[in-house]
Structure 1
Amino acid sequence: MHCSKSRPPMTTPTPEKGHVAPYAHPAAGWGALKQVAINLVKEKVAGGKYKTLFKQNQPDGFDCPGCAWPDRQHASTFEFCENGVKAVAAEATSKRVTNAFFAQYTVTELMRQSDYELEQHGRLTHPVRYDAATDKYVPVDWDEAFRLIADHLRRLDDPDRATFYTSGRASNEAAFLFQLFVRMYGTNNFPDCSNMCHEATSRGLPVTVGVGKATVVLDDFQLADTIMVFGQNPATNHPRMLNELRDAAKRGATIVSINPLKERGLQRFTSPQHVSEMLTGGSTKIATMFVRPKLAGDFALLKGLGKRVIELDDAAIATGGKRVVDVDFIREHTADFDAFAADLRAESWADIVAESGVTRADIDALADVYVHSERTIACWGMGLTQHKESVRTIQLLSNVMMLRGNIGRPGAGLMPVRGHSNVQGDRTMGIEEQPDDAFLDCLGAAFDFEPPRAHGQDVVAAINAMLAGKVKVFVGLGGNFSIATPDTPRTWEALRQCDLTVNIATKLNRSHLVIGKDSLLLPTLGRTEIDEQNGVPQGVTVEDSVCMVHLSYGMNKPASPHLLSETAIVARMADATLGSDKVDWRWYAQDYARIRDAIEKVIPGFERFNERVAHPGGFHLTPASRNRVWKTASGKAQFLVHAIDKDTPIKRARARYGDDMMVMMTTRSHDQYNTTIYGLDDRYRGVYGLRRVVFIHPADRARLGFAEGEHVDITSVWEDGVTRHVQDFRLVDYDIPEGCLGAYYPETNPLVPLESIGDRSGTPTSKSIPVLLRRAG
Structure 2
Amino acid sequence: MSEKENKAIHPENPEKLKDIKLGKVYKTAAGFEAVASTAKHILEEMNVSRGFIALQKLNQVDGYDCPGCAWPDPDDHRSSIAEYCENGAKAVAEEATTKILDPAFFKKYSIAEMSDWDDYKIGKSGRIAQPMYLPKNGTHYQPLAWDEAFKILATHLNGLETPDEAIFYTSGRTSNEAAFLYQLFARAFGTNNLPDCSNMCHESSGVALGEQLGIGKGSVKLEDLYEAEVIFILGQNPGTNHPRMLSALEKAHKNGACIIAVNPLPETGLSAFADPQSVSGMLGIGTTISNIHLPVKINGDMALFQAINKLLILEEEKEPGKILDKKFIAEDTHGFGEYKNHLMQQDLDLLAGTCGIPLSKIKEVVETIKYSNKIITCWAMGLTQHKNSVDTIKELVNTLLLKGSIGKPGAGTCPVRGHSNVQGDRTMGIYEKPWDWLLENLERNFGFIPPKEYGHDVVDSIEAMHRGECKIFMGMGGNFLSATPDTQYTAKALQQCDLTVHVSTKLNRSHLVTGKEALIFPVLGRSDEDLQNGEKQFVTCENSMGVIQRSQGVLKPISEELLSEPELICKMAIAVLKENEKIPWRKYMGNYDAIRDAIEVTIPGFEDYNKRVRNYGGFYLPNSAREGYFPTETNKANFSITHISPFHIKENELLMITIRSHDQYNTTIYGLNDRYRGIKNERRVILMNREDMDAHNLKHLEQVDLFNFSDGRERVARNFLVIEYDIPKQCVATYFPETNVLVPIKSVAEKSNTPTSKSVIIEVRKHSK
Amino acid corresponding to residue 285 of structure 2 in structure 1 = G
1:218 to 219, 222, 233: 222
Residue 161 of structure 1 and its aligned partner are, at CA, apart by 0.5
Larger mean CA deviation between 443-452 and 678-687 belongs to: 443-452
Name the residue aligned to 2:571: 572
Specify whether residues 759 and 52 from structure 1 end up closer, same or farther in structure 2 by C-alpha distance, changes over 3 A only: same
Amino acid corresponding to residue 223 of structure 1 in structure 2 = E
Amino acid corresponding to residue 264 of structure 2 in structure 1 = P
CA distance in 1: counterparts of 2:393 and 2:50, whole angstroms: 46
Amino acid corresponding to residue 73 of structure 2 in structure 1 = D
Match of 1:42, SS?
helix
**Residue 742 in structure 1 maps to residue 741 in structure 2:** no
Match of 1:610, SS?
helix
Q: Structure 1: 5+ residue runs without aligned partners?
A: 1-6
CA distance in 2: counterparts of 1:209 and 1:154, whole angstroms: 42
Larger mean CA deviation between 474-483 and 305-314 belongs to: 305-314
Residue 134 of structure 1 and its aligned partner are, at CA, apart by 4.3
CA contact (8 A) 2:111 2:512 kept: yes
Matches within 5 A, 1:193-592: 193-278=197-282, 280-317=283-320, 322-581=321-580, 582-592=582-592
Match of 2:251, SS?
helix
Specify whether residues 271 and 737 from structure 1 end up closer, same or farther in structure 2 by C-alpha distance, changes over 3 A only: same
CA contact (8 A) 2:32 2:281 kept: no
Name the residue aligned to 1:4: none
Amino acid corresponding to residue 609 of structure 1 in structure 2 = Y
CA contact (8 A) 2:280 2:286 kept: no
Amino acid corresponding to residue 612 of structure 2 in structure 1 = R
Name the residue aligned to 2:669: 677
Amino acid corresponding to residue 508 of structure 1 in structure 2 = L
CA distance in 2: counterparts of 1:44 and 1:120, whole angstroms: 13
Name the residue aligned to 2:45: 43
Specify whether residues 638 and 610 from structure 1 end up closer, same or farther in structure 2 by C-alpha distance, changes over 3 A only: same
CA distance in 1: counterparts of 2:708 and 2:353, whole angstroms: 23
CA contact (8 A) 2:14 2:116 kept: no
CA distance in 2: counterparts of 1:82 and 1:281, whole angstroms: 15
CA contact (8 A) 2:102 2:130 kept: yes
Name the residue aligned to 1:144: 148
Amino acid corresponding to residue 759 of structure 1 in structure 2 = E
Match of 1:659, SS?
coil
Amino acid corresponding to residue 226 of structure 1 in structure 2 = V
CA distance in 1: counterparts of 2:378 and 2:11, whole angstroms: 37
CA contact (8 A) 1:96 1:124 kept: yes
**Residue 608 in structure 1 maps to residue 580 in structure 2:** no
Residue 44 of structure 1 and its aligned partner are, at CA, apart by 3.3
Deviations 1:668-721 (A, max 9, x none): 000011000010000100100010000001111111111111111000131x11
CA distance in 1: counterparts of 2:96 and 2:471, whole angstroms: 35
Residue 46 of structure 1 and its aligned partner are, at CA, apart by 4.8
Deviations 1:180-208 (A, max 9, x none): 01011111101110000000011110111
Amino acid corresponding to residue 478 of structure 1 in structure 2 = G
Residue 604 of structure 1 and its aligned partner are, at CA, apart by 0.7
Residue 622 of structure 1 and its aligned partner are, at CA, apart by 2.7
Deviations 1:420-467 (A, max 9, x none): 000000000000011111121112111122111111101000000000
Match of 1:541, SS?
strand
Match of 1:491, SS?
helix
CA contact (8 A) 2:194 2:457 kept: yes
User: How many percent identity over aligned positions?
Assistant: 46
CA distance in 1: counterparts of 2:429 and 2:12, whole angstroms: 36
Amino acid corresponding to residue 277 of structure 2 in structure 1 = Q
1:751 to 724, 742, 746: 742
Match of 2:141, SS?
strand
CA contact (8 A) 2:311 2:366 kept: yes
Residue 394 of structure 1 and its aligned partner are, at CA, apart by 1.0
CA distance in 2: counterparts of 1:45 and 1:731, whole angstroms: 39
Matches within 5 A, 1:680-699: 680-699=672-691
Residue 8 of structure 1 and its aligned partner are, at CA, apart by 11
CA distance in 2: counterparts of 1:603 and 1:9, whole angstroms: 39
**Residue 120 in structure 1 maps to residue 118 in structure 2:** no
Name the residue aligned to 1:97: 101
Match of 2:75, SS?
helix
Match of 1:72, SS?
coil
Match of 2:337, SS?
helix
Amino acid corresponding to residue 73 of structure 1 in structure 2 = D
RMSD: 1.4
Amino acid corresponding to residue 661 of structure 1 in structure 2 = E
Amino acid corresponding to residue 607 of structure 2 in structure 1 = E
CA distance in 1: counterparts of 2:491 and 2:599, whole angstroms: 36
Residue 296 of structure 1 and its aligned partner are, at CA, apart by 1.2
Residue 41 of structure 1 and its aligned partner are, at CA, apart by 2.4
Residue 21 of structure 1 and its aligned partner are, at CA, apart by 1.8
Name the residue aligned to 1:76: 78
1:161 to 161, 165, 181: 165
CA distance in 1: counterparts of 2:50 and 2:482, whole angstroms: 34
CA contact (8 A) 1:79 1:273 kept: no
Deviations 1:321-358 (A, max 9, x none): x4311011011100111101111111111321222122
Amino acid corresponding to residue 183 of structure 1 in structure 2 = R
Residue 74 of structure 1 and its aligned partner are, at CA, apart by 6.7
2:694 to 676, 682, 702: 702
CA distance in 1: counterparts of 2:372 and 2:293, whole angstroms: 17
Residue 292 of structure 1 and its aligned partner are, at CA, apart by 1.4
For this pair of structures, how many residues does the alignment match?
757
Specify whether residues 414 and 361 from structure 1 end up closer, same or farther in structure 2 by C-alpha distance, changes over 3 A only: same
Residue 368 of structure 1 and its aligned partner are, at CA, apart by 2.0
Amino acid corresponding to residue 723 of structure 2 in structure 1 = V
CA distance in 1: counterparts of 2:331 and 2:465, whole angstroms: 49
Match of 2:714, SS?
strand
CA distance in 1: counterparts of 2:328 and 2:517, whole angstroms: 59
Normalised by the size of structure 2, how large is the TM-score? Answer: 0.97
CA distance in 2: counterparts of 1:328 and 1:281, whole angstroms: 47
Name the residue aligned to 2:3: none
Q: Structure 2: 5+ residue runs without aligned partners?
A: 1-8
Match of 2:541, SS?
strand
Match of 2:426, SS?
helix
Specify whether residues 629 and 12 from structure 1 end up closer, same or farther in structure 2 by C-alpha distance, changes over 3 A only: closer
Residue 273 of structure 1 and its aligned partner are, at CA, apart by 2.2
CA distance in 1: counterparts of 2:93 and 2:10, whole angstroms: 37
CA contact (8 A) 2:13 2:738 kept: no
Match of 1:755, SS?
coil
**Residue 88 in structure 1 maps to residue 88 in structure 2:** no
**Residue 772 in structure 1 maps to residue 769 in structure 2:** no
Deviations 1:521-573 (A, max 9, x none): 01000000001100111100000000000001000000111000111111111
Residue 132 of structure 1 and its aligned partner are, at CA, apart by 3.9
CA contact (8 A) 1:49 1:556 kept: no
CA contact (8 A) 2:12 2:738 kept: no
Amino acid corresponding to residue 726 of structure 1 in structure 2 = A
Residue 9 of structure 1 and its aligned partner are, at CA, apart by 9.1
Larger mean CA deviation between 19-28 and 328-337 belongs to: 19-28
Deviations 1:133-156 (A, max 9, x none): 540000111011111111111111
Residue 645 of structure 1 and its aligned partner are, at CA, apart by 2.6
Name the residue aligned to 1:192: 196
Residue 65 of structure 1 and its aligned partner are, at CA, apart by 0.6
**Residue 711 in structure 1 maps to residue 715 in structure 2:** no
CA distance in 2: counterparts of 1:12 and 1:521, whole angstroms: 23
